[in-house]
Amino acid sequence: MSDVQYYAMPAGHQIAYRHAAGASPTLVFLPGYMSDMDGGKATALFEWARARGQACLLLDYSGCGRSDGTFAEGTLSKWRGEVRELIRTKVDGPVILVGSSMGGWLNLMVGMTLGQQLAGLIGVASAPDFTEWGRSDADKCRLAAGETVLDDNPYGPEPTPMHPGFWADGQANLLLGGNIPIMCPVRLLHGQNDADVPWDISMRLADALQSKDVVVTLVKDGDHRLSREQDIARLLAIVEELL
């Protein structure tokens, strides 16, 4: 990762990113909750794009990976602003947003701000509105009262926190209950063995999108991460199709 660079946001904090110059449109990968640009899908996409001369941009949200900040202060709205700022300063021309899990919520939020610059959108186990459908009423009461809720973490020894600021911002940015004004081609990939995000969320998302060019691919034995060799090959094939 010797090509990691840093961008100073207008607020002063540094955002880590990787940028490969190349052909347009630029692929922009948005990681999931508490993830970063070192993940398997992000790395595979970046190396694939660089090998074929395709422009690609990865980043760590503030409070994640190599970027400044604390995770407890992160929100979807804050991270949307960081993604938009990097696109504004580092990308010329159209973009294809690729979002994993929470990144599949964030790419919708970013995409709605891009207008004609948005050439395509790909969601991998997209998790829009998980602050709503992913929390019990008891959890919502605790979060609304300002308490951090800790969840079991199947991917590591430390519990996964949801902080009240993130939850409140998520509740202010719910999307599945209305029409999502995105008109570009959309491809959604979801494993039917996903224990974190039910695959019917991708079906609900497909219904909510205004675009008529939406394709949902279900992987019967796929888990939430979809990071196996065959899963990544399927993702890259979808990217190539949109390009």
Structural domain of 117: 5-242
202 tagged catalytic: no
- Split into its structural domains, the chain has a count of 1
CATH number at residue 221: 3.40.50.1820
- Mind listing the pLDDT tens digit for each residue in 138-184? 999 999 999 999 998 888 788 999 999 999 999 999 999 999 999 99
Strands 95-100 and 23-30 turn out to be: parallel
The residue from 35, 62, 67, 101 that is catalytic is 101
224 tagged catalytic: yes
35 tagged catalytic: no
At 190 the pLDDT is 98
- Mind listing the pLDDT tens digit for each residue in 193-207? 999 999 999 999 999
Q: Report CA dihedral (211, 213, 214, 219) to the nearest 10 degrees.
A: -170
The residue from 129, 169, 194, 231 that is catalytic is 194
Cα→Cα distances 39→1, 58, 89, 99, Å = 12, 11, 24, 12
